[in-house]
């Protein structure tokens, strides 16, 4: 306000006394909004700016109507498939690019994973495991990416991707040791079961808080870009995790800096017990890629060949320096969320029955049998071998002692801080006193 205009005057009179002024209301402003006053000599400048803004808006509108260029990230919500649930091939070109022996290996691996999950759940019910998370019905979402990517690439899994570790060469006994939490557990019993790591296979340790792996994978991918090593980082998460802040942070940074990352969302319909429509308003998670300026692709997550195709395309895009991709894999969790969950309380049996017909293992088996690459005898032999292997590995794992208590203080700091050293000494004194009830098995 001009200090020379008395406050007692009405707004209109004060406006009239403003030297050479004319009222200016921005477009769409309501009368309740404070009026802005522009001197006469500035009006011509503003009108010229308006014309320039109009030209800019017209240019932007024209750009938006142009066909996307080859390097322009696009979002496709068309379901990518190679094979339908009844085993019908809809992408013969991609299928022809896959060696038949590899397809058989993928089927065997997913079938064996199903056997492992069933055995581990029984172990937990017997009180021999504290906890377990199965990937029943979602096997293709792990084995597909594990097959599609290269040895130099980095994996940031959640807890539904044991297939990544087993396919890429993590020792099977080490994986079972993690379930039991013995002295040979790669994470020394510090984590829950199914929270493993495999450093030699470029697989980073799983975290229980959902979403933490997303910005970690983004940072890893950006580091690869700076080093120029050509590696891609892929992280896995469920659709419920896309509501976490880490999802936004990771995808936004990756989009801005074109980090060679793949964000693989397993949309299995439920965030534990919360249905998809209660967590997200959009029909597809992949649509969110628009907001980050990155590629988006919806894929049939129960079609292992389609998953391989989607991940390969995303990896090729990333290695060319074009940035990340958000892949949404439509799938379904046929088992409970965990051994602490009962899905009967929040979903219908007919829904489960419908998705069992779309099972990734059943789908591939239909095609293999049509091609004469699989039969019941091979199926039974594979199941029996897997069952024998998991039982033997569990017996070995249970025979090993627990991790030493010293491991609580090791492998965290290069130089142990004084407060941890004092705690360690106090623990040792307690154990030596003869009153401790801890007995390493």
Residues involved in catalysis: 333, 337, 346
- Region of 401 (left: φ > 0; alpha: ψ -120 to 50; beta: rest) is beta
378/354 Cα distance (integer angstroms): 27
Token digits of residue 412 = 């965290």
210/367 Cα distance (integer angstroms): 36
With 0-12 CB in 10 A as exposed, 13-18 as middle and 19+ as buried, what is 252?
Answer: middle
- Alpha-helical regions (H) of 18-135: 40-65, 92-97, 100-125
Token digits of residue 83 = 């094979």
List, in sequence order, every residue forming a beta bridge with 68; answer none if it has no partner: none
- Alpha-helical regions (H) of 268-375: 289-292, 304-319, 349-356, 360-370
SS3 letters for 385-429? HHHHHHHHHHHHHHHCCCCCHHHHCCCCCCCCCHHHHHHHHHHHH
Token digits of residue 173 = 């006994």
375/369 Cα distance (integer angstroms): 6
Residues 240 and 271: beta-carbon distance below 8 Å: yes
Closest to 122 in 3D by CA, of 132, 112, 113: 132
Residues 251 and 292: beta-carbon distance below 8 Å: yes
Residues 6+ apart with CB under 8 A from 256: 293
């Amino acid at each position: 306000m001009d200090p020379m205009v008395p406050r007692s005057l009405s707004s209109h009179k004060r406006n009239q006394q403003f030297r050479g002024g004319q009222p200016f209301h921005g477009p769409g402003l309501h009368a309740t909004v404070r009026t802005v006053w522009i001197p006469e000599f500035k009006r011509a400048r503003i009108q010229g700016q308006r014309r320039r803004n109009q030209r800019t808006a017209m240019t932007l509108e024209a750009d938006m109507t142009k066909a996307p260029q080859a390097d322009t990230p696009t979002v496709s919500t068309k379901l990518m498939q190679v094979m339908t649930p009844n085993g019908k091939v809809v992408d013969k070109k991609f299928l022809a690019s896959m060696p038949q022996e590899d397809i058989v290996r993928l089927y065997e691996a997913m079938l064996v994973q199903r056997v492992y999950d069933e055995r581990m759940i029984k172990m937990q019910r017997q009180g021999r495991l504290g906890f377990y998370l199965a990937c029943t019905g979602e096997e293709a979402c792990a084995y597909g990416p594990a097959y599609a990517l290269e040895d130099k690439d980095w994996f940031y899994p959640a807890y539904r991707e044991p297939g990544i570790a087993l396919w890429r060469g993590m020792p099977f006994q080490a994986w079972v040791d993690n379930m039991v939490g013995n002295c040979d557990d790669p994470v020394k019993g510090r984590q829950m079961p199914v929270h493993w790591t495999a450093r030699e296979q470029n697989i980073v340790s799983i975290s229980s808080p959902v979403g933490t792996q997303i910005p970690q994978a983004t940072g890893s991918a950006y580091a690869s870009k700076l080093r120029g090593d050509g590696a891609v980082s892929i992280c896995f998460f469920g659709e419920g995790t896309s509501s976490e802040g880490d999802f936004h942070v990771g995808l936004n940074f990756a989009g801005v800096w074109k980090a060679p990352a793949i964000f693989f969302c397993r949309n299995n319909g439920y965030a534990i017990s919360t249905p998809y429509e209660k967590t997200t308003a959009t029909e597809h998670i992949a649509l969110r890629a628009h907001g980050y300026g990155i590629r988006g692709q919806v894929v049939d997550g129960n079609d292992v060949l389609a998953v391989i195709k989607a991940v390969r395309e995303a990896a090729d895009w990333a290695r060319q320096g074009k940035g990340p991709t958000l892949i949404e894999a439509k799938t379904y969790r046929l088992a409970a969320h965990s051994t602490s969950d009962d899905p009967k309380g929040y979903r219908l049996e007919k829904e489960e029955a419908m998705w069992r017909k779309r099972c990734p293992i059943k789908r591939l088996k239909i095609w293999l049998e049509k091609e004469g690459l699989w039969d019941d005898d091979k199926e039974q032999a594979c199941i029996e071998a897997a069952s024998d292997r998991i039982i033997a590995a569990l017996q070995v794992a249970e025979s090993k002692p627990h991790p030493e208590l010293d491991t609580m203080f090791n492998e965290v700091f290069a130089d142990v801080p004084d407060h941890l050293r004092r705690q360690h000494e106090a623990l040792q004194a307690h154990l030596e006193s003869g009153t401790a009830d801890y007995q390493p098995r």
